[in-house]
Structure 1
Amino acid sequence: MSFIIRNTLRRVPLRAHARFYASAKPDLLSKYSEQLQKKALELGVGSVDELKEKLLSDIAEKKKAMNSVDPLAELEEYERKQAEELKQRKLKDQGSDKIRDAIDASTPKTPYKTLSSYLDLEKVKALPKSELQYIWRARFANQDRSLHATIDAAQFAGIFANAFKNPSFVLPLPRDGQGYEIHFVQWAFVGPNTTHCMLTSLAEYKLHKEYAKPHTTLMFHQELVADTGIVLMNGRVEEDVPLSMDEAQLLLLNVQRFYGGTPESETSQRKLQMLRAFTQGDESFTMDLLIEEAALMD
């Protein structure tokens, strides 16, 4: 069931992985001995053993070169351009496009809300699933810029597992034929039954770091999983951001599509691979591929 309702950038260094086979079966070496000897002569070495040593040296050099590659250089360029654009907008103070101030570091942190902040758990845990879903929708029906949903526990388990392994990501948002605005996704596991997903303009995150204000925060409540088999979600899109509800829902749709994929789906596997590549700092992650994958409505 879709959870979209109609109503910290950590850089991970590239890890190069190489698998080396120290030996081979004698018959295999014998089978290719003539080709190996020919290759040795081409490379100016006198024997197959010397050829092995040369190839191992070449592999080491290539591995060293790979480790010097910055797989997120393209993302850095996106960040740099957006940060500069937002600085200029802030100077011009252009209405809704202006940069929001950072969170005041001295402001005391308020406790996170659990499901009991919204519902009487003892009263609702015995209700039929359909009635609980109705009550949850009604709870937020008249709140502007709110998001809410009920999610099957099995579906959320997959999202949770992928979020735990890949706690940050980036998502593109098309902007009226003017290219793409990049948004930073962060997951926080704030309590035993509460998980948060926060979305922030990547440009604002670059300016304010950990004190950047998320424009959208989702809270996933898992207190009733054992009794009802569902997770309840509520969230809000801030009013002081130039982001429509349709745009927010498009971002959330891609959060679901990238984090909630199933092993049976080829398209889901591509998206999960992009999550892993971003987390690992792998050079296979590129902004062009991300934009292409995010645009596919599968």
Structure 2
Amino acid sequence: MARRTEADGTPERRVWPRVLLAALFVAVTALVVGTLAATRVDTPASSEPYTPSALATPTAQPTASATKHPAPPRVLLALSATAAWRAPAGSCPGTPVTLEYTTDAGVTWKPSTSAGSLGATSVLDLERGLNGAVTAVGQMPDACAPQQLTTISRADKWHPLDGPVTSWFVVPGSPASINTPTGALPTPCAAVNSVQAGTEVNVAVLCDDERLFRSQDAGVTWDSGFWVPGAVSLGGTKQGYIVAAIGTPMCTGVQLEIFSPKAAPRDRSSAGCHATNADLGTVQVAVGADTVWLWVGDEIGPLTRDGNNWK
């Protein structure tokens, strides 16, 4: 894989060629064109304890042989082949979490002092903002209402951002619901593992029972879904979505699957395997600037591709 977080020496630097990764996504989803975009969620600040505005009722039954995979306990944002942010998901109320960033492809990580001073005890989302900024959605211990934070890309200058929250995330306290540009909406999941928005209207949710659902109207309606055996994490790309799966017969490690934003003759394809001996109990996938990052156990960093294998 890419990088270990322990001080076990300086690993070989591996950088994914953008042209090859872009070609992979184009080949798999040739009929799909999408653009990642920031989206709005109207969640006003409040001094009152946070209460979800919508509770979802699951509309589809999970596959009997599926394994439960709860939402990952950490969050990863890939910016490029060398830069990324990460954080524990935390909880609210709870103890303050630490955001960290790297500019050397995960060889070293530096904790954010400015984010720590804000006192957020959970991170619900990390994503690119406008004009090169990075945004986070966190919860403060006073009321636990989702609050948007922002900083300049690769800079440790986090501060609260006034106005509506502009991210998609699972509604705290209502695991079957997601926040959308029009407020909280139900999903087909009994519990959402993760949510990714491709555009203002294209969004996907990965359920904790290994099912993937896609919407083309900002979460109002959903397709019939896919069962993705072993699915544990969901990432977003300009062309669609990438799912990380474990325990598959064709891969000793993490299997990568690509899905287009909508139904098409070729809307799903295997992208290959990342073989690893790392602990598969916690897996996070993210995509940034045509680079796929994986956080598997204590290994984290960008991947390179060698045929059908990812390293």
Please tell me whether Structure 1 or Structure 2 has the larger radius of gyration of its CA atoms.
1
TM-score, normalised with respect to structure 1: 0.29
